[in-house]
Structure 1
Amino acid sequence: MPTSSKQRMIPLLAATFPGVVIILLLFSLDYFQLQLVEKFLLLAAFVIVPLVIILLKYDEKNTAQRAIYWAIKWFQFPAALLALVSVMSSTMWGLAGTSIPGALSLGWLLLTLLLGLYGIATMIIHKGKIAEIAIGAGLVYFFIGGVWFTLYQYQWTFFQATPATHALSSIHFHFSSAIVPIFIGMLGRIMAKKNWYPWVVVIDIIGPILIAIGMIFSKPIEYIGVALFACNIVVYTTYLLTYLKRNVLYKKATVFLVLSCLAFYTVIVVSMFYPLLKRMFDLTILDFIPIYGALHAFGFVLCGLIGWVYLVDSMKKQSSIPIG
């Protein structure tokens, strides 16, 4: 039914190499005077989304879904470049306050719209499969992240939320809201049927919305959303580690997926000891943001995606193991 993941993997992985180089330059060179939140958004554009695209599968018989897939594949890198130029024009080229950064961000908004349409198509085609619904919801959340990015680049106020809140909301939807449902959907493709799994997916879809609403309107709602979301990730990581322990053949995948899980648990531990560390070393929350960001973006998300790419590839080579 779907095109082989291995066949699609080679050109897509090749397409990620320029993005990886660009991200390394953005994070290492002082020339790029970008805010940390902007660097993480560009990490999503150049590296995270291409890895997600590798994991997508489409029905050869569905012309619309196949067309959207190929549009996403070929437009991803140009859209990421437009996002980079948009950020640089507002931060480095003195065009902040004009409509130019916002207009340039529309390229990335279009790409995330295509991802959202692909997600909706996935949910419609596989309406009986809860794992595919989770993946489709994650793709839709990319579009919401794209909307927040455009609002940030236009410097518009929305529901009394500042542009800084727009940037944080965009990060939230590009990394947590989109990625966690995709991870849980990938887990659903390989796991034995469990009665609790549909509830995990439902909470996973509702949680990001609660967090986003809470960030703008109500802190208690945000805390509830974060708690539900964190509990879901605990369920996901626990089951995944158990699965990997039973299936020792997936060595490359296991390394990256274990690192992903460890990064999440490290974030939990650091959060628990934050008050103590704050007093001992005279630190502020601003000192911890880069730590949280790096652990989540590079650890949980990036390592997790690489791990799933390896795992899917390994399963494809073992034709006796179905994944969808």
Structure 2
Amino acid sequence: MRYLGQKLAFYAVACWAALTLNFLIPRLMPGNPVDLMLSKLATRGPVTPTTRAAIEAMLGTESNVSLWRQYLTYLQQLGSGELGTSIAYFPTPVSTVIGQTLPWTVGLIGLAAVMSFVIGVLLGRAAGWRRGSWVDNLIPFTTMLQSVPYFWLALLLLFLLGSTWPVFPLSGGYDVYSVSPGFSLAFFQSVLYHGALPALTIVLSSIGGWMLGMRNMMVSTLSEDYILTAEAKGLTPRRIRSRYAARNAVLPSISGFAISLGFVVAGSIVTEAVFSYPGIGSALLLAVGNNDYALMQGVFLIITLAVLGANLLVDLLYGVIDPRTRARS
């Protein structure tokens, strides 16, 4: 219980600090979202001071209200689940925008991140266990793919498999002309078809790191004394590989996976920009271009909670896999 209490207290403080930065950073950026919205409204007619005051109140950026009061209002709204109104998607609430775009990002990039981790760890385990095999010889190639700029690899695959050989569609999350969003087989098939190429790009660009890290840890673990002791006891190679070597070698990879899984939302920007994917990364780009404080804060909040939540879960899982971490606490 002491270990759990320490972890929860640490992440509670980290969450508060992240929420405070989430409030301050957009307000320190140049530009004013109120002026931007008023410029759009001015094309339809004259803008009165009353209109300006109403927009400032709606966006939470009143000029006659102190920054401290805005901060307290911001925390109160978070407590009630109110994230404000988006300028880029006006008058849609931020919570609605996030609710519509987040499932696309989590479904595509989250699934691709899990696939790359699992495949990379399994291949790395095989490469470390049988050094010099064909699996071990794949590591230079997979490492080369990881060193290639992601957007270049995405554009190359898009050109080859989407344009030269039209195996996959060039853009979009589903076929907007033939299917309608909903719980239907045709819609899910269209989503999988449109998401296959972006997912393939993510897997190819990230599998090399997991594979190399797991391979090196397996080689290091196999030289430990307890592996020699297990062999002397006559344990089967399969049990030594799974229960002794792989279980200890995978611990650093689990920590790295927590960080990558937490940044699923943040890492979606380049992917969705290249493939025109309708996820939260595209919404964040639009929010930055329009100085949309509310939407930026909402997206940053999701990123913060994802990173902290993933790290907390892995810290707790780490304590289960390796009880020595609880003892040191």
Q: TM-score, normalised by structure 1?
A: 0.27
Structure having the higher helix fraction is 1
Structure with more relative contact order (C-alpha pairs < 8 Å, separation 6 or more) = 2
Q: TM-score, normalised by structure 2?
A: 0.27
The structure with more radius of gyration: 2
